[in-house]
């Protein structure tokens, strides 16, 4: 791995913040590296307030969206809440539908079938709306590129309100309102909201006219925090506030559906990492293995017994998903080796029988193995569908744009995208994708990078530092867990491999005679020879609390050893 030491801020900046906050220079440096340079910014960072959220009417078209919904309610129209089948989409649908149903009965939900309809707004969805007398569709976490589908709906006298956070194309759909902070002509102060975040801003705007306060919307924030974690959007600015309060709801008074999932996993306090790796995969599994509506049903359920039945069902989907993704990953790795493509700049694999619901996870697994832009294709009707994943620093969405002559349609983000193409275009596309990536990627990006906040000595690691570091949470893009580096370390003689096949490394290290501190390195078992027999080494690590038999101690969570 590449270790990159972040540039040290100007000494005056660190000194000013040290004085203003009465903290150690180490803490001041970590804050400056996160763009926090004065007392008021630090206060906002450490003490988020719901009053820090922006006025929702600053978002382009918000006034149009609110007035159209109010018109639908006063005219007793039927409203269809339409969302994508992933975590961001299903949480969005649960949020907006459950809020509207508190005020108005004629509201229903619709999640497209991943296999029959594919991603985003579908013609089948519009037909469903027409057949069932819906005259307004609110599309969440999708729709910003659905120009033909929105036009098709308009022909049937069905209006659209779009709440999306994906990059728009050159032209916007002809909807009543297009809420998307990534619109070029939208001056909303924060453009990194997830789809559920945009849905929350719509609810926030509606609540103003319903005479409610922001405190009345707190119960919905468990959904927003889950979407923020699952969609890997930056946990900065408004997202930090939403995630911070959403986690409090998850840990103190979650909705019944979350309670049913948490009861299964029996974990006391959940962090944003737990939300990403424990709650989100279960919600996602419904859309991957069966249908996303199962997830919405769980998230809006108000009866605990019924929710626990739904949660058991979803847990089974998750176990099935896990088995499938392990099996397909093995097959894909064999395919890359058999084709002699280990040295390519990209991984592009295809098998017509692979389950469409897990190809995104498989693409992520392959990226972890070979660390390069990756596409996993399967057959979907008469076309091929793929999930794309990228490496840090490389925009796979732009790379796909460079192959657009071979693609039917594509959409997504810098690091994750989806596309479809005709089978006869596959080989040409594959060659073009390799060409585009090889010509545009910095070869350094093909080596995983550890960004180190600063070099420290072990004597700096104390319970007091840990108490402050915990207040940096919730962590995520834009505010990653602080990573440190220490040199001249020696194992105190206890280093060993642990876990299945001894693939993890457990040790206790000291530095120049300091008091030993324990460390665990997941998947670093192969580094054991580097630390044995009194060898000196450097380590990159974060600091965490380790609870064992009721005792809490500090330990190093090792990222790499050199």
- Three-class secondary structure of residue 25 per DSSP: helix
Give the CA dihedral 125, 126, 130, 136, nearest 10 degrees: 100
Residues contacting 175, CB < 8 A, separation 6+: 143, 150, 159, 160, 161, 162
pLDDT at 29: 96
What confidence tens digit (pLDDT) does each residue in 424-452 have? 999 999 999 999 999 999 999 999 999 99
pLDDT at 77: 98
Residues contacting 304, CB < 8 A, separation 6+: 256, 259, 260
Task: Evaluate if residue 391 carries a pLDDT over 90.
Answer: yes
Residue 381: band (very low, low, confident or very high) from pLDDT cuts 50, 70, 90? confident
Q: Cα–chain-centroid distance for residue 507?
A: 32
pLDDT at 167: 86
Share of the chain above pLDDT 90, in %: 88
- Three-class secondary structure of residue 517 per DSSP: strand
Average pLDDT, the chain: 94
Task: Evaluate if residue 340 carries a pLDDT over 90.
Answer: no
Task: Evaluate if residue 249 carries a pLDDT over 80.
Answer: yes
Mean pLDDT, residues 524-544: 94
Task: Evaluate if residue 511 carries a pLDDT over 90.
Answer: yes
Closest CA relative to residue 193, chosen from 119, 92, 279:
92
Element (H, E) at 136: strand 134-140
**Which domains, ranges and CATH numbers included, belong to the chain?**
2-47+450-561 (2.40.50.460), 56-313 (3.90.1640.30), 339-446 (3.10.310.30)
pLDDT at 115: 81
What confidence tens digit (pLDDT) does each residue in 45-99 have? 999 999 999 999 999 999 999 999 999 999 999 999 999 999 999 999 999 999 9
Mean pLDDT, residues 482-494: 94
Task: Evaluate if residue 362 carries a pLDDT over 80.
Answer: yes
pLDDT at 269: 87
Compare 66 and 288 and report the one with higher pLDDT.
66
pLDDT at 119: 81
Task: Evaluate if residue 209 carries a pLDDT over 90.
Answer: no
What is the spatial distance between Cα 123 and Cα 144, in angstroms, rounded to a whole number? 15
pLDDT at 307: 96
Q: How far apart are the first and last CA of the chain?
A: 10
Task: Evaluate if residue 232 carries a pLDDT over 90.
Answer: no
Question: Model-level pTM?
Answer: 0.91
Mean pLDDT, residues 347-357: 94
What is the spatial distance between Cα 39 and Cα 72, in angstroms, rounded to a whole number? 46
Q: Token pair for residue 137?
A: 């569709």
Task: Evaluate if residue 266 carries a pLDDT over 80.
Answer: no
- Strands 416-421 and 383-389 turn out to be antiparallel
Task: Evaluate if residue 265 carries a pLDDT over 90.
Answer: no
């Amino acid at each position: 791995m590449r270790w990159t030491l972040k540039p040290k801020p100007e000494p005056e900046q660190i000194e000013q913040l040290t004085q203003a906050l009465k903290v150690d220079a180490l803490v001041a440096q970590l804050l400056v590296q996160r763009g926090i340079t004065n007392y008021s910014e630090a206060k906002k960072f450490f003490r988020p307030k719901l009053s820090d959220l922006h006025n929702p009417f600053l978002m382009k078209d918000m006034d149009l969206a609110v007035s159209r919904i109010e018109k639908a309610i006063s005219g007793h129209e039927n409203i269809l809440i339409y969302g994508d089948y992933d975590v961001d989409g299903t949480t969005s649908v649960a949020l907006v539908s459950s809020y509207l149903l508190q005020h108005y009965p004629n509201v229903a939900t619709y999640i497209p079938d991943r296999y029959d309809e594919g991603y985003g707004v579908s013609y089948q969805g519009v037909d469903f709306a027409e057949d069932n007398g819906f005259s307004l569709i609110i599309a969440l976490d999708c729709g910003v590129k659905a120009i033909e589908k929105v036009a098709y709906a308009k022909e049937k006298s069905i209006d659209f309100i779009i709440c999306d956070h994906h990059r728009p194309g050159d032209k916007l759909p002809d909807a009543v309102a297009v809420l998307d902070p990534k619109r070029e002509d939208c001056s909303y102060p924060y453009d990194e909201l997830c789809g559920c975040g945009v849905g929350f801003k719509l609810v926030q705007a509606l609540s103003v006219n319903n005479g409610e306060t922001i405190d009345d919307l707190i119960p919905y924030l468990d959904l927003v925090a889950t979407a923020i974690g699952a969609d890997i959007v930056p946990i900065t600015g408004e997202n930090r506030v939403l995630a911070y309060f959403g986690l409090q709801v998850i840990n103190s008074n979650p909705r019944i559906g979350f309670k049913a999932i948490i009861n299964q996993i029996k974990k006391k306090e959940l962090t944003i990492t737990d939300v990403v790796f424990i709650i989100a995969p279960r919600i996602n599994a419904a859309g991957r293995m069966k249908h996303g509506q199962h997830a919405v049903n769980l998230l809006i359920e108000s009866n605990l017994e019924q929710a626990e039945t739904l949660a058991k069902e979803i847990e089974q989907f998750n176990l099935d998903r896990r088995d499938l993704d392990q099996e397909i990953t093995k097959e894909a790795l064999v395919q890359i080796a058999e084709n002699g493509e280990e040295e390519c700049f990209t991984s592009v694999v295809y098998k017509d029988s692979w389950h469409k619901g897990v190809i995104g996870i498989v693409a992520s697994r392959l990226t972890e193995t070979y660390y390069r832009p990756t596409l996993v294709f399967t057959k979907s009707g008469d076309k091929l569908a793929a999930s794309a994943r990228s490496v840090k620093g490389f925009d796979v969405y732009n790379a796909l744009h460079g192959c657009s002559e071979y693609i039917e349609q594509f959409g997504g983000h810098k690091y994750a995208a989806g596309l479809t193409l005709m089978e006869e275009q596959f080989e040409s596309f594959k060659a073009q994708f390799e060409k585009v990536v090889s010509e545009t990627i910095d070869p350094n990006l093909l080596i995983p990078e550890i960004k180190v906040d600063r070099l420290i000595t072990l004597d700096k690691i104390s319970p007091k530092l840990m108490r402050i570091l915990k207040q940096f949470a919730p962590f995520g893009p834009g505010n990653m867990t602080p990573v440190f580096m220490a040199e001249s370390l020696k194992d105190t003689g206890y280093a060993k491999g642990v876990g299945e096949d001894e693939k993890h490394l457990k040790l206790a290290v000291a530095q120049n005679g300091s008091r030993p501190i324990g460390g665990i390195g997941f998947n670093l078992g192969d580094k054991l020879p580097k630390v044995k027999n009194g060898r000196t080494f450097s380590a990159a690590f974060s600091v965490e609390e380790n609870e064992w038999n009721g005792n809490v101690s500090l330990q190093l969570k090792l990222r790499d050893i050199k």
